[in-house]
Amino acid sequence: MPNPIFHYCQKCVAPNPLGQDFCIRCGTRLMIVVEPAAARFELNEQAISTDEHLLERISILENRVSRLTERLERTLDLLLRQVQNSYFDRSLLKTLIAVLNEDGLVEGPKLEQLWNDRCEKDALEQRQQSQRDELRLKILASPPASNSKVFADLVGEGFLLIQDRQTAIGIDKLLRAAELADSNSALNLFIGEHFFRDGQTQIARTYLSRAYKSTPDDVRVSLLLGLTCADDGDSEAAKELLASALERGGSCFAGHYGLGWVHMIENRWRKALAEFKRALEVRPSPEAHFALASLYYRLDRDELARRHLSKAIEMDSEYQEALELLAVVYDRIGQHKLAHDVLSRAVKTRSVAKGRKGPGSARKRERFLDAAKTAPPGLITGADQRLSTAVREDALRAFLRTDANRR
């Protein structure tokens, strides 16, 4: 009769039948060991087989996997409870909002929209903070040969102040750090982007030029520097930089619009029209339709200008500049009644808009429309605030994915 095979407990060495999960004597969870532990200390090396060592290691792995599984189960249970609590909290909150909405104390849809906007804003701030932390480490990775301790302190203090919303003081610290390391491309790009975002293109150009000198292959640097050159009236440099950025990085609204602006200044109407059309294809937006309509108006192609202005107003019924220009177009083609109605609508839009400084009359649009004759202050600091804002925002977002992949 063959001898039975047992599982021996690794703690008390008690034999247990196969299939038993816990020791019948001490209750310890059994591992895969089919011989007593004393066999490990046999002096006869031949008595200790390789299988025993493998079983011992399998037993250890089994024990660790078992513990990990138990921890994962507890974690999953906690997550499920948290999700359930969050669901109940949200249900209670919606019920309270519904009750307050019925009593006329709050506006349910408006409150929910504000809540969603706040959540998106918080998420954006977290992403920006993470990007700033990564950028700070990248800046500190290239310290100057001398005064590296002062440089590190200035950079650290600057980013802390920016995080605490003391942006002006923080940027001042970073400016002092940039004087110690004028070849630090990451720092120069960050400062250049800050001033570009604020519309201070002359200061932005200084630091973007430094960044371009260190990293001429960076398409974002080429794009931003090209737009600042266009704003300063340096057409040749702007065309070269913008064309290079679009060729290497792909199409973007800001790049095509900036290149079209430069061609418009130089009276190259066909090239300007082609670039404005590409800008519209890349980013169908009220601003793109308005830019194209403005150029058509300058070329006396009133019907095409009217179509694009109507499209811009369809996309944004409160686009004040588009309404004013549409009134001018109607007036020029002899439809004075429509011109009066649209202009009245534009005045009404201006009166209810909060914090938006609209022009006193539609004639102020001529600073944009007669760009070829009057040579306006610049692309970013030009007459149309909304359009220049759209260009800045698009330029700061452009090529971010390409830049991240390259790093």
Q: pLDDT, tens digit, for every residue of 341-377? A: 888 888 887 765 544 444 444 444 444 444 444 444 4
| Location of structure tokens 């440089």 | 151
CA gap 204, 52 in Å, rounded: 72
- What count of residues does the chain have? 407
The Cα 118–Cα 50 span in angstroms is 63
Specify if 7 maps to a domain: yes
Evaluate whether residue 162 is within a structural domain. Answer: no
d(CA 388, CA 254): 9
What are the structure tokens assigned to 257, written together? 């619009």
pLDDT of residue 51: 61
What pLDDT is stored for residue 406 in this prediction? 44
Residues of the chain with pLDDT under 70: 1-5, 32-57, 351-383, 400-407
Q: What angle do CA 64, 65, 67 make, to 5 degrees?
A: 65
- Parent domain of 31: 1-42
Residue 319, class by beta-carbon neighbours within 10 Å (0-12 exposed, 13-18 middle, 19+ buried)?
A: buried
Give me the number of domains the chain comprises: 1
Any domain includes 1? yes
Residue type, 143: P
Residue 289: what pLDDT? 92
Closest by Cα among 294, 232, 304, 289 to 264: 294
Could you read off the pLDDT of 78-134 as tens digits, one per residue?
999 988 888 888 888 778 878 887 777 777 777 777 878 888 888 777 877 888 888
The SS3 call for residue 29 is strand
Q: Is residue 34 part of a domain?
A: yes
- Domain membership flag for residue 295: no
The answer to whether residue 36 is domain-embedded is yes
Q: Is residue 188 part of a domain?
A: no
Side chain identity, residue 54: L
Residue 362's pLDDT is 45
6 inside domain: yes
- pLDDT (0 to 100) of residue 4: 63
- Amino acid (1-letter code) at residue 239: K
List all residues 6 or more positions away from 341 whose beta carbon is below 8 Å from its beta carbon: none
For residue range 17-35, list pLDDT tens digits in order: 877 778 888 888 777 644 4
| Cα(281)–Cα(375) distance, integer angstroms | 27
Per-residue b/e over 288-304, b at no fewer than 16 CB within 10 Å? bbbbbbbbbbbeeebee
User: C-alpha angle with apex 251: 248 to 257, nearest 5 degrees?
Assistant: 120
